[in-house]
Structure 1
Amino acid sequence: MADLPFGFSAGDDPERDKRKKDPDSGSGGDPFGAGFGGGEFDMSQLGQIFSKLGEMFSGAGAGMAGGTSAGPVNYDLARQLASSSIGFVAPVPEQTAAAIADAVRLAETWLDGVTPLPAGTTRTAAWTPTEWIDNTLDTWKRLCDPVAEQISTVWASALPEEAKAMAGPLLAMMSQMGGMAFGSQLGQALGKLSREVLTSTDIGLPLGPKGVAALMPEAIESLAEGLEQPRSEIVTFLAAREAAHHRLFSHVPWLSTQLLNAVEAFAKGTKIDMSGIEEFARGFNPASLTDPSEMEQLLNQGIFEPKATPEQTAALERLETLLALIEGWVQTVVSEALGDRIPGTSALSEMLRRRRATGGPAEQTFATLVGLELRPRKMREAAALWDKLTEAVGADARDGVWQHPDLLPSSEDLDEPAGFIDRMIGGDTSGIDSAIEQALNQAEDQARNEGGRKDQGEDGPDAPKE
């Protein structure tokens, strides 16, 4: 992973090296004139450092004072910066919103004929970029917090216990500064992404509220300018994809949780090279935190760069396979529903597939925010598997596979679909049987453990004596 999470950039400061070499060259070597630069840090000077940091925080903006800025990411700052980068946005005209609602209703009618899964949309929406941010920020919090927590807490784990006690207030301030830095980068990224996404499910994840089929008229208009298909066909095609996603997310109860859990597992599996942290901590001068140029250098030394782990690799494979199966299924049912009605369906599907495979704007921004590239590499294979499965067993049996995660094709099945299709034709339900058996065994183990704890609490060695 070449880039640091949240896209910190080093920047150029030709005077930085000069300040380091010349302690008397001004505030860069000793920001307080208290003898810090070039020498060992004196803990008795912490008061001056805290005062200087307080001045820095007080200038961060009065708007944050009444918000919720605690936590690894300052989401109040993120929202403010995103809104500022978007600027004024005119409301979506009623005529446009009505056209999108009509397109979704038409798409739902056509989808009814190709899948037994019922409609999953409860209402339609035409979002402005600002409305997209307001409706998806809660999901972004869940996606971004695990990575931010890993980085914000790595400081404390690298310091000796005695140092933690002495530097507690300073580390708390460092955490707050990190939350502001993450919030700033998140706000800028979401502001850009809000003008590029086409629907609420554009990256394959359920970012918006459940059951709300939302399209982005401004981004769709920009996309349509470079395509040959009529705008009405493009809107109907995207409405069908959005509606198909919601059929899965609404009627496959475990799907949304499984997707978000896989992203969280990837983030929580992030490991930091502690040897670099420990080496940095030995020579760390807290006074450097008050010099913006030193802070910039600190964030870009590469010591916080995540390292790939086996846990991350496993989580990434699960996520990629699940995303490929979702996107492949959506492509299959949308193509079947629209293929004879909208001539450009095949070309539009290929355009979106290439957009995903090469890492479109949504994927690039997600990779910056979470450190994870959402590129379902086997999306074409997944679509081919769903097509062949439909021909072999019909739509009802095909969509019955979504009843339980253990029934879904594996990554190996995408490479060799014939074996999976043969099992489906033969009515193989060993996957669900084993899942039920495993759940029963876990329940029995839990009951035995709870019974053992209860017995020990009543009669064990720690029980109160009369």
Structure 2
Amino acid sequence: MTSDDSPRPEDDFPEFLRKLFEDAGAGGNPLADGGLDPEQLKRLSEQMGAAGIDPAMLQPLMQSMQQAFATAGDGGISWDAAKRQALHLANQDGHAITTGEKTDHEQAFALAELWLSEATMISELAEPARPITRGEWVELTLPVWQELAEPVATSMADGLIDALRAQSPDDMQQMLDGAGRMLRGIGGQMFAGQLGHVIGKLSREVVSGGDVGIPVMPAGAAAIVPQNFADLGRGLEIPDDQLALYIAARELAHARLFRHAKWLRLQAIGQVTDFARGVDIDVERLEDLASRFDPQNPDELREALESGSLLPEQSEAQRRALERLETLLALIEGWVDVVTADATNRMPSGDRIAEVIRRRRAAGGPAEDALEALVGLRLRPRRLREAAAMWRAVTDAVGMSARDSLWDYPDLLPDSADIDDPSGLITRLQARARGEEPAPDDFDQALAQLLEEESGDGGDVPDDDADDEPDSGDEKP
């Protein structure tokens, strides 16, 4: 029983928050040494225990706030939490690459390199491909994941502030204004930690660097993850050496393509980030969670993040952007499929392995599903088989040199209409091979008409019909 002049529980926590927000608004770090009053924290902990709340639950909150304060100066997001979480999951079993695994995969890469040179005109990599651990895959790919997810993390953090504003009384609004950067940092840390969880799970599923379709590895790098390769072949009744050779050829084809077409990497990453910038947060859903959030049961918030329920339905602009991205990914994956099939056509199990890989890519896995829920982005091309059929038709009609030249410049790349019907694309390539000017398409004709109209409006170009229809000012009596 507390005396009348003892601090009351209902006074300490608001004062605790007020101190945090005021110091954060002033640019300080109230959680640093000498910040908050230790006696106040002690009383708060005792009061939480008396109320049946585990004081230890303050620890994760304090850690998130500490990280948020560390980045509050520039309003940015620290991705250390994502990296730690991802590496924790990736390195859980502590498996190292054995000498035998290293030798087997290096030999597979060496032979695949030779075979691939017979199936494509795109040149070899400057650096040799190599086996890597799950943790190394996280380290190598995390910068790209960060770039892709940062727009969504920012939207999540802004949504958290909007939800807190809606749920806070008027006398707290000024404090929220002062602590906006801190709150944005906390929201960003929450998202970054969840993203790290997804990437860590993904590191336990990917077999190679290009396994997710987009160029997450450094430019010109190719790698295989032996730990996950062993899981891929389990139960398939396919010799490991043939499976390793096929995966090596596929990985090298993917890496060669992005090294050759340097613009392609920028375009793929740019389309993903453009899509991500359009992702918004369902503030009403977030407000609902905030209004009944139970600190002793944070699972509901985590489940909301993992399920994607905080992401509203895609806008029409986003759907169009997603269609463009899916077309690009399908073109990439389809080309890789065809080139890999041609490079490994002497392998008895090549067709079976190709089908296994296609089905695996189409179905995805739990980690890819989680990434889609978190960012709203599906990285599995829906038109993979149609794109592969187009590349096969082009290869059969004009050969691999003319086929591979389509990756030289962005304006040469086939589009969705070419995937539907490659006959027009093949006709253009055959005409170019004969040295003929390609027949103008609808775009060329529209552009020519526009230029002609602009020239006519300028008055500098003579009008052939001037004698037939003279201007009124030129008429003679």
Q: 2:80 is matched by which residue type in structure 1?
A: D
- Secondary structure of the residue aligned to 2:222 is strand
Distance 2:374 2:290 in 1: 28
2:134 matched to 1:120?
no
1:78, 1:187 within 8 Å by CA — same for their partners in 2?
yes
2:63 matched to 1:60?
yes
What's the RMSD between the two structures over aligned residues? 3.9
- Secondary structure of the residue aligned to 1:426 is helix
- CA deviation map 1:335-371 (0-9, x unaligned): 11111x2111111111111111122345324313422
Asked which structure has the greater CA Rg, the reply is 2
Seen in structure 2, the aligned counterparts of structure 1 residues 99 and 258 have a Cα distance that, compared at 3 Å, is same
Distance 2:378 2:118 in 1: 34
Distance 1:44 1:362 in 2: 39
Stretches of structure 1 that go unaligned for 5 or more consecutive residues are: 1-30, 37-41, 442-466
Distance 2:107 2:204 in 1: 23
Question: Match of 2:102?
Answer: 97
Distance 1:49 1:294 in 2: 24
Distance 2:226 2:290 in 1: 51
Q: 2:242 aligns with which of 197, 210, 233?
A: 233
Question: Match of 1:461?
Answer: none
Provide TM-score, normalisation by structure 2: 0.72
Mean alpha-carbon deviation: is it higher for 303-312 or for 322-331? 303-312
- CA deviation map 1:38-66 (0-9, x unaligned): xxxx8997338886799656742899699
2:85 matched to 1:76?
no
Measured after TM superposition, the shift of residue 419 of structure 1 is: 2.3
Question: Match of 1:24?
Answer: none
Seen in structure 2, the aligned counterparts of structure 1 residues 61 and 346 have a Cα distance that, compared at 3 Å, is same
1:121, 1:246 within 8 Å by CA — same for their partners in 2?
no
Measured after TM superposition, the shift of residue 252 of structure 1 is: 0.3
2:152, 2:280 within 8 Å by CA — same for their partners in 1?
no
2:214, 2:268 within 8 Å by CA — same for their partners in 1?
yes
Distance 2:96 2:430 in 1: 52
1:120, 1:249 within 8 Å by CA — same for their partners in 2?
no
Distance 1:223 1:96 in 2: 15
Q: 1:387 is matched by which residue type in structure 2?
A: R
Question: Match of 2:377?
Answer: 372
Q: 2:10 aligns with which of 27, 30, 33?
A: 33
Q: 2:222 aligns with which of 204, 207, 213?
A: 213
Seen in structure 2, the aligned counterparts of structure 1 residues 303 and 164 have a Cα distance that, compared at 3 Å, is farther
Question: Match of 2:319?
Answer: 313
Question: Match of 2:202?
Answer: 193
1:74, 1:182 within 8 Å by CA — same for their partners in 2?
no
Seen in structure 2, the aligned counterparts of structure 1 residues 252 and 352 have a Cα distance that, compared at 3 Å, is same
Seen in structure 2, the aligned counterparts of structure 1 residues 418 and 164 have a Cα distance that, compared at 3 Å, is farther
Question: Match of 1:324?
Answer: 330
Measured after TM superposition, the shift of residue 373 of structure 1 is: 1.1
2:354 matched to 1:382?
no
Stretches of structure 2 that go unaligned for 5 or more consecutive residues are: 1-7, 23-35, 46-57, 433-437, 452-477
Question: Match of 2:356?
Answer: 351
Distance 2:20 2:153 in 1: 29
Distance 1:66 1:152 in 2: 14
Figure out how many residues of one structure are paired with residues of the other and give that number. 394
- CA deviation map 1:101-121 (0-9, x unaligned): 221121111111121110135
- CA deviation map 1:241-287 (0-9, x unaligned): 0000011100001111111111101111123456x38x959x988xx
Question: Match of 1:23?
Answer: none
Seen in structure 2, the aligned counterparts of structure 1 residues 353 and 235 have a Cα distance that, compared at 3 Å, is same
Provide TM-score, normalisation by structure 1: 0.73
Higher relative contact order (CA 8 A, sep 6+): 1
